Amino acid sequence: MKFLKGTTEAILSELKSIKSTTDTATIETQVKAIIQQVKANGDKAVLHFTEQFDKVSLSELRVSDDEITTALNQVDAPFLEVLQQAKANIESFHLKQKQHAFLDNEKRGVIRGQLIRPLATVGVYVPGGTAAYPSSVLMNVLPAKIAGVERIVMITPPSENGINPHVLAAAQIAGVDEIYQVGGAQGIAALAYGTESIPKVDKIVGPGNIYVATAKREVFGLVDIDMIAGPSEIVVLADDSANPSFIAADLLSQAEHDTLSRAILITTSEKIAKETETQIYAQLEKLPRKAIAAESIRSEGKIILAQNQADMFEIMNEIAPEHLEVQLENPMNYLHEIKNAGSIFLGSYASEPLGDYFAGPNHVLPTSGTAKFFSPLGVEDFTKRSSFISYTKEALAKEKDAIILLAKKEGLDAHAKAIQIRFEEEK
């Protein structure tokens, strides 16, 4: 756990200097080749790459209803019950995000407005192996359902033992329409171009490894994508009122995800800084995922001692964390100071895992400082806007000279002509 203190400038430059950069050129070349193959040869290429990378030979890409039913029978009732509760919370939160069309008719003869339409088809990528999280299925699918997406296609890498039954249960509860067992860049390419069995989608969402992320970046524009996800991160802001054992537990819940996860405490209190550090090493000992969490804490963990509250917020906003816990007295008072953060947890009892699983806000969040410009996944990520106008001849007559002047100034005479022709004598 690295300990930083001093001026905000010094701390920020220190934080920057440790940011790692990966050379992705080789991966990019591989991924482009895979995409080209899937584009050209469809299912045949998909099956070929599945055999090559996943070591599974499939006769059918689609997961059958029988397989889904069998999987559901393996899942215990309390788990299904909890998924249903989580679903209800996620739905009630996301329903509030729903945007509505508007129409403006303030000027006689002029109607202006905006429509909100759902995307038609969405593809959800669900990673395989230990990164297969049922909660992620709910978080990616439910906003699309609320947006009104008619066809939700899930893809996930195949495995010898079949697909994780908890993931299949979550897909069923969330309302996924079709599931295909294909992963990696070949899965993303299949969704972007469509194959004989897998439909072309309008947007691809969901996390994945570097091959999946690179493939998503490659097909961006042909389809929409959610975001470029990096390692997960948490910043905890704490003052003397905070509880070091809570802070340590929350930092560790982030650290156990991945050795690259970043867990950062920023505090104005030397006492809290020291006690949290002690707590971290004590709690670490008892964790089943100790190896991962310890490496994350060692290489990416930071305790930052800020000179004052203003510095604390400045450093945090510059980091722009995915998750932000505000363990300060009267935390609601500081909402105004928070400019850049994906998901905000206010007070001692809004522990990050509560948001990860249950409270309702989405857990698909902007990482690696992108909360400066990206948002949590939400209903509007599954809709698009269209504007519309309607003018009567009389309304257009009032504006025609202005439009013609602008068009001529831009050297676009056909634009001017399109207006003029509507007021020429009929021949």
Show contacts with a copy of itself in window 155-174 (CB under 8 A): 166
Q: Restricting to residues 37-76, name those near a copy of itself by CB under 8 A.
A: none
Q: Characterize the bridge pairing of strands 102-104 and 343-346.
A: unpaired
Query: CA 401, CA 421: separation in Å to the nearest integer?
Result: 13
Among 322, 325, 352, 363, which one carries the catalytic annotation?
322
Say if CB 30 and CB 329 are below 8 A apart: no
Locus of tokens 């970043």: 262
Angle at Cα 202 formed by Cα 196 and Cα 204, nearest 5°?
90
- Contact between 418 and a copy of itself per CB under 8 A: yes
Q: Which residues from 221-240 bind a copy of itself, rule CB under 8 A? A: 221, 223-224, 227-228
Shortest distance, CB of residue 326 to a copy of itself, whole angstroms?
A: 9
Stretch that binds a copy of itself, among 8-16, 57-65, 270-278, 406-414 (CB under 8 A): 406-414
**Binding-site annotation, residues for Zn(2+):** 254, 257, 356, 415
Instruction: Please identify which residue in 16, 271, 298, 385 interacts with a copy of itself, judged by CB under 8 A.
Output: 385
Q: Which of 153, 163, 293, 305 binds a copy of itself (CB under 8 A)?
A: 293
| Dist CA 143 CA 203 (whole Å) | 13
Residue ranges of the annotated binding site are 125, 186, 209, 232, 254, 257, 323, 356, 410, 415
The residue assigned the tokens 């070949």 is 186
411 CA to centre of own chain: 43
Alpha-carbon torsion 348, 349, 352, 355, what sign? negative
**What part of residues 363-382 is at the interface with a copy of itself (CB under 8 A)?**
366, 370-376, 378, 380
Of 53-61, 171-179, 188-196, 410-418, the window that binds a copy of itself (rule: CB under 8 A) is 410-418
Exposure on the CB side of residue 4, measured as CA atoms within 13 A? 24
Q: Is residue 153 within 8 Å of 198, Cβ to Cβ?
A: yes
322 is catalytic: yes
Q: Is 120 in the site for a copy of itself (CB under 8 A)?
A: yes
Decide if residue 344 touches a copy of itself (CB under 8 A): yes
Active site residue 323: yes
224-225 sheet: strands from edge to edge: 178-181, 151-156, 121-125, 203-205, 224-225
Angle at the Cα of 81 (from 76 to 204), degrees rounded to 5? 95
Binding residues for a copy of itself, rule CB under 8 A, total 120
Task: Select from 62-70, 151-159, 171-179, 351-359 the region that touches a copy of itself (CB under 8 A).
Answer: 351-359
**Given 63, 314, 390, 425, the residue binding a copy of itself (CB under 8 A):** 390
277 binds a copy of itself (CB under 8 A): no
Q: Which residue has 């007559």 as its token pair?
A: 397
Active site residues: 322-323
